[in-house]
Amino acid sequence: MIKSKTKFNATKEDVAKMFQANHLPRISTIEILGNGEFNAAFKVCTEKNKEYVVKIAPPCDSKVLTYENNMMESEVFWYEQMREKTDIRIPKVYASDFSERIIPAAYFIMEKMDGKPLWEMGFSETEYAKVQEQKIYMLTQIHRIHNHLFGYRQTGLQNSWYEAIRGMVSNMIKDCEAMGIETPNGHKLLMAIDKHEDLLRDCECCMVNFDLWDSNVLYHNGNLCWIDPERSFWGDRIADFITLGKGQKSPLSDKFSEIEIYNRTAETPIVYDKNMEIRYQVAVGYLALIEEVEKYVRYEPEEENYIRNTVDAEAMFEMAFGVLL
């Protein structure tokens, strides 16, 4: 398990209580699963040799960021949205409990899906390109899931993307300052958002995954399965391009190939222009701020992930502010 201050250290007895409370088969073994850095996940095998995944939120007394409060309940919601409105392959959720009665944390129990994360597959360049096309096609499906309000369900929705992203950034700044740490880049990002208010007010609203890295997509026998949609929000679809192509440190102008693939099946094609780049860089700036602030909550300064977040955030801020300010 990756070292993180927020992960719940569940015992076999804890997991057995969850299964018993939800009338699921008796468990035989559990093992740590995945490389996530926020929730804890376990593979559970029952006496009937069926495998499940248990996902557990941080303990109820953990220090988490504002948008991460009640995030597990939102994750189950986003699984439901995808199951009802797309043909994306996702795990079935068998049970969920956000009451913190069984253990002092929210949890849910879901289907164990076959496959490995894309980054583990060792694809050739040609194979990887085909898999990315599949992933982008699925992205167009969630962008057809619309809403009239923007933002995170768990922190309250707003009437426009401008109001939502401004509130999301403001909460991150408050989280940082509550720890006694200033974030000048956070305040610069607020200035940039205000500068482009009219543009951001004009964005359409849809489901945005915002975490569609190769670690959150499983591959098995030619099929893809999406997992871990907890960081999804209602917002500007261009934010999902951060995880495509060369990643979060590259401008949208470097992702023409991904835009072309997206436009083949998109409900509304993307036309690249200066305004689209601005919208994209607002999302890059927000991700940079998340990485900057979350390191104070999860890691110690000498740890590798703390250093990684610092370097990544600086690079993203530099790129975003070069466009936005």
Mean pLDDT by 10 residues, the chain (325 residues): 64 92 93 77 90 91 89 96 97 95 94 94 96 96 98 97 98 97 98 98 98 95 95 98 95 98 97 98 98 93 94 97 98
| Stated pTM of the model | 0.93
Domain map (residue ranges) of the chain: 12-111, 121-324
Q: Is the dihedral of CA 255, 147, 58, 228 positive or negative?
A: negative
**pLDDT value at position 11?**
87
* Residue count (the chain): 325
SS3 81: helix
What integer pLDDT is reported at residue 1 of this predicted model? Answer: 41
3-state DSSP call for residue 321?
A: helix
Beta bridge partners of 218: 117, 225
- Reduced to 3 states (helix: H, G, I; strand: E, B; else coil), residue 313 is helix
Give the 3-state secondary structure of residue 231. Answer: coil
Task: Say which CATH class 12-111 falls into.
Answer: alpha beta
Predicted pLDDT of residue 59: 86
pLDDT of residue 263: 98
**Torsions phi, psi for 176 (to 5 deg):** -65, -50
* CATH number for the domain whose boundaries are 121-324: 3.90.1200.10
The radius of gyration of the chain's CA atoms, rounded to the nearest angstrom, is 20
Tell me what pLDDT residue 68 has.
92
In degrees rounded to 5, what are phi and psi of residue 239?
Answer: -60, -25
